[in-house]
Amino acid sequence: MKTHINVQNLNAFYGEHQALRNISVEIPEKQITAIIGPSGCGKSTFLKCLNRLIDLTEGVRVSGKILVDGTDVLDRGIEITEVRRKMGLLPQRPNPLPMSIYDNVAYGLRIHGTRDRKALNEKVEHYLKIAGLWDEVKDRLRSPAAKLSIGQQQRLCLARGLAVEPEIILCDEPTSALDPLSSQHIEQQLLKLSERYTIVIVTHNIHQAMRLADYVVHFYLGEVVEHGEASEVLENPKDERTRAYINGTFLTQIKIDTEVNLKGNKCPFNFVYAKQALHNLEPGKVMRVIVDDPMAVTEVPRGMEADGHKVLNVKQINSTDWAIVIQK
Ligand SMILES: Nc1ncnc2c1ncn2[C@@H]1O[C@H](COP(=O)(O)OP(=O)(O)OP(=O)(O)O)[C@@H](O)[C@H]1O
Ligand SMILES: [Mg+2]
C-alpha cells in the first residue's frame, strides 16, 4: 500500500497545553482512514495540522513533519494555498456559501480558471453527481444553497470541495449533525470516493468506522495508541486503552437474550421483523439478528439507532451472513 501522508513526530501545543504528542502515522493512498478516540484527544487538532488550518489559531506551536507526496506541509517555505487545494475539508456542520447551489460549486472552479459557461455547467453537474446531489437539485440550481436541508447542504459542501480537484478529503465528524438518511448518503459517497481519493475521517461512531474504514488510528490523550487495519483495531485491539474505548461504545463479550434469524428477508422487511421481535423484549435485553441481505447490514442498525435502541455490534460471521447485536 502506497503511503500518501507520512506524519513523523508531530507535536502540537496550544500555549502550555500539549494537544498532540509525537504522532507518527502513515496514511495510505486511496483508502479510508478513520481517526477515533474520546473527546479532547486531539483528533480535530490533527486534521487541522494536515491542511495547516491550525495556522489560524493563535498561540499554537507545531513541530515534526507531515510529508504529502514528499513535500513537508509544515515547511514554512511551501505554497500553502497549493497544499490546501490538495486537501478538501468536509466540516462537522455544512457551511455553504451565501449564494446559489450552482455558484457554490462554480466558486472554486472560477477561482481555478474555468470561465467558459458550458465548461462550468458541465463541471457543476459532474461534481453534484459525484456528491450524490444532482437529481435532487437539478431543477433549482439557481435557488439559494441555504434553502437545502442540512443533509443536502453537506453533500453540496462535498461537491464544492471536490470541484477544486483535491487528492485528499479530510472529514471532521461529517455526519454528526445529520439525520440517519443523510448520514447514509454521505457515507455512500465517501465509500465511492475512496476509489479515487485518500480519505481521513474523524468519527465518534465506531459503527461508522466499521462501515467505512480500511485503516483506523486510535488517539488517546494526544497520542496514537493503536494504528492498523480496521478489522484488526476494531475487532481485536491490542492496546488495553483501545479495547476499553471500543468496549465503552459496545461490548464485545455480551450476553445475548434472544436470537432472530432473518435470512432470506430483504430490506425493509428484515428491519420490520427485527423491530417486531425487539418489541416483545424487556428494555435492556439484547437481541442478535442474523441477516444475509447486504442492505440490512447498514439499514437495520441505522433504523434501530433512529428508534433509540443501542446497536452493540455488527459483524460478518461467514461468507453470506452478518450478526447485528441490538440492545433494547
Ligand atoms: N484553540 C484552542 N486553544 C486551547 N486549547 C485547545 C484549542 N483547541 C483545542 N484545544 C485543546 O486541545 C485538546 C485537543 O482538542 P481537539 O479539538 O483536537 O480534540 P478532539 O479529539 O477533536 O475532541 P472532540 O472529539 O471533542 O472534537 C483539548 O484538550 C482541547 O481542549
Ligand atoms: Mg474535534
Write down the pLDDT at residue 254.
66
Per-residue cell: 5? 501522508
pLDDT in tens, 53-76: 999 899 999 999 999 988 999 998
Q: Name the domain count of the chain.
A: 2
Residues 208 and 274 in one domain: no
Choice from 17, 23, 55 to test ligand 1 binding pocket (greatest atom count within 8 A of CB):
17
What is the identity of the amino acid at 273?
Answer: Y
**How big is the CA angle at 326 (ends 265 and 33), to the nearest 5 degrees?**
95
Q: What is the average pLDDT value for the chain, to the nearest integer?
A: 91
Domain range for 11 is 3-248
Establish whether residue 35 lines the binding site of ligand 1, counting it when its CB lies within 6 angstroms of any ligand atom.
no
Integer angstrom CA distances of residue 189 from 47, 195, 207: 20, 11, 17
Nearest ligand to the CA of 19 is 1
Residue owning grid cell 430490506: 267
Write the residue with the smallest CA distance to atom 12 of ligand 1.
19
Decide whether any atom of ligand 1 lies within 6 Å of the 43 Cβ.
yes
Domain stop point among 248, 280, 301: 248
pLDDT tens digits, one per residue of 195-250: 999 999 999 888 899 999 999 999 998 999 999 999 999 999 999 888 888 877 54
> Do 151 and 222 lie in a common domain?
yes
Helix (H, G, I), strand (E, B) or coil at 9: strand
Asked if residue 41 has its Cβ within 6 Å of ligand 1, the reply is: yes
Q: 59 in ligand 1 pocket by Cβ < 6 Å?
A: no
Q: Is the pLDDT of residue 255 over 70?
A: yes
Per-residue pLDDT band at 39 (split at 50, 70, 90): confident
Does some domain include residue 14?
A: yes
Average pLDDT over residues 99-127: 94
Task: Specify the DSSP element, H or E, that contains 14.
Answer: strand 3-14
Q: What is the pLDDT of residues 138-196, one digit of tens each?
A: 999 999 999 999 999 999 999 999 998 899 999 999 988 888 888 888 999 999 999 99
Check whether residue 282 and residue 240 sit in a common domain: no
Q: Is residue 40 in some structural domain?
A: yes
Neighbours of 91 (CB within 10 A): 17
- 48, three cell numbers: 487541522
Q: What is the distance in A from the centroid of ligand 1 to the CA of 40?
A: 5
What CATH number corresponds to the domain at position 130?
Answer: 3.40.50.300
Phi, psi of 322 (to 5 degrees): -125, 150
Q: Which ligand is nearest to the CA of 204?
A: 1
pLDDT of residue 166: 93
Does residue 84 have a pLDDT over 80?
A: yes
pLDDT at 316: 74
List the grid coordinates of 78. 511551501
Q: Inform me whether the pLDDT recorded for 30 exceeds 90.
A: yes
Alpha helices (H) in the chain, listed in sequence order: 43-50, 80-86, 101-111, 117-130, 134-137, 150-163, 180-193, 206-212, 230-235, 240-249, 269-279, 294-306
Does residue 78 register a pLDDT over 70? Answer: yes
Range in 25-29, 99-103, 135-139, 203-207 with the lowest mean pLDDT: 203-207
Do 185 and 317 fall into the same domain?
no
Asked if pLDDT for residue 303 goes beyond 80, the answer is yes
Q: How far apart are CA 143 and CA 309, in angstroms?
A: 38
Look at strands 310-316 and 223-229 and give their pairing.
unpaired
User: 202, 218, 248 — which closes off a domain?
Assistant: 248
| 299/224 same-domain check | no
Q: Which of 229, 248, 267 is the last residue of a domain?
A: 248
In a domain, 173, yes or no: yes
> pLDDT grade, residue 252 (50/70/90)?
very low
Helix axes 117-130, 101-111, angle to 10 degrees: 110
Whether residue 253 is contained in a domain is answered as no
